[in-house]
Amino acid sequence: MNAVRIRSNRLRAALRVLSCALLLTLLAGCSAIRIGYNQADTLLAWMADDYFDFDAAQKQDFNTRIDRLLKWHRQEQLPEYAKFLAEIKQRGQRPFTREDAAWMVDGTKARFRTIARYAGPDAADLLATLTPENLRALEKQYAKVNQKFVREYKLNGTPDDRKRARLERTLKQIREWAGTLTHAQEERITALNDAIPSTDAIRHQDRQRRQKEFLALLKLRHDKAAFAPQLQAWLIDWEKGRTPEFDKAQNDAYEKRVALYLEVERILTPQQREHVLHKLQGYIEDIQALTAKRTTAY
C-alpha cells in the first residue's frame, strides 16, 4: 500500500504541474497512472483523514463526494488530458521553445482550476462539518508538513546544502525521463541549476501564508453564503496575495528553470529523446485505458 500511495502522490502532483515532457517529472512508471487513479478514492481518503482526523460520519460523507468527483473526472477530464499529452508529444518531435513551456504551464493551471471549480461546492459543504477537534488536527498536520519541507529543502542548512539538495532533485527528475546521463550532460545541468536563484525559503513563507488564510477562512464555514464563494476563490486564485518580492523571485527562478530544461532537451542524445517520448506515450496509453473504462468503473 505504501508503494501505491507514493505513486498516487506523484500522479496527483503531476496533474497540477504538467508543463512539458521533461517537467512531468513527479511521475514514475507507466503503470503509476492506472494504479494511482484506480486507488484514488482510498488514497484521497487517507490524505483527508491525515489532515482532519474525520469521524465515521465525515468519512462516509467524504467518500460519497469523492466518488462523485472521480466519476466526473474520469468521464469528462481524462479524455481531454490524453489530448493534452498527445499535443505535448507532438511538440516534442521538434525542439521545445519557451512558448511551448508557457503553453504547457498555462494549460496545467487551467486544468487544475477546472477541478477546483467543480469540487468547490462539495468541499464547502464538507468543510462546514468540521469540528474544533478537526481544526486542531489540521493545525497539527500543517506543522508536520512544514517541518518536512524544511527538512527536505535543507532550509536550516548552508546555501551549499540547499544547492546540493536541489541539484539532486533535478538530476533525479531528468534521469527518470531521459535515462542515464553522460558526465558532460551532468556538468552542464549542474552549471545551469546553480544559476537558478533559490526560492525555497520564500516558498515556505508563502505556503504558511496560504495555510493561515485557509484557517481564517474556515471560521466562516457555517455561513454558507459567505464561505462557499470565498473558498472557491481561494482554491482558484492560489497566486493571489503573494508579495511583489515573491513574484519577482519566482519569475526569475521560473525563467532560469525553463532555460535549464530547454537546454536539457537540446543536449539529449537521440536515444534519450526517444526514451522521453516513449515514456510520455506510456502515460497517454494509460489515460486512454482509464478513459475506456469510464462507463463501467463506477
Q: Which domain covers residue 23, as residue numbers?
A: 2-292
Question: Is the pLDDT reported for residue 295 higher than 70?
Answer: no
Q: With respect to residue 51, please indicate whether it lies within any of the assigned structural domains.
A: yes
pLDDT range class, residue 44, cuts 50, 70, 90: low
pLDDT of 294 reads 56
Q: What is the number of structural domains in the chain?
A: 1
Arithmetic mean of pLDDT, 162-166: 93
- Of 281, 275, 258, 259, the C-alpha closest to 89 is 281
pLDDT of 101 reads 86
pLDDT of 56 reads 94
Question: Is the pLDDT reported for residue 297 higher than 90?
Answer: no
Q: Do 291 and 79 touch, CB atoms closer than 8 A?
A: yes
Percentages helix, strand, coil for the chain (3-state, rounded to 5) are: 80, 0, 20
Residue 57 identity = A
Q: With respect to residue 298, please indicate whether it lies within any of the assigned structural domains.
A: no
Arithmetic mean of pLDDT, 40-44: 49
Task: For 131-150, write each residue's pLDDT tens digit.
Answer: 999 999 999 999 998 999 99
Q: With respect to residue 216, please indicate whether it lies within any of the assigned structural domains.
A: yes
Task: Tell me the C-alpha distance between 267 and 182, whole Å.
Answer: 10
Q: With respect to residue 235, please indicate whether it lies within any of the assigned structural domains.
A: yes
Q: With respect to residue 193, please indicate whether it lies within any of the assigned structural domains.
A: yes
Q: With respect to residue 297, please indicate whether it lies within any of the assigned structural domains.
A: no
Q: With respect to residue 98, please indicate whether it lies within any of the assigned structural domains.
A: yes
Mean pLDDT of the residues in the chain? 82
pLDDT range class, residue 102, cuts 50, 70, 90: confident
**pTM across the whole model:** 0.81
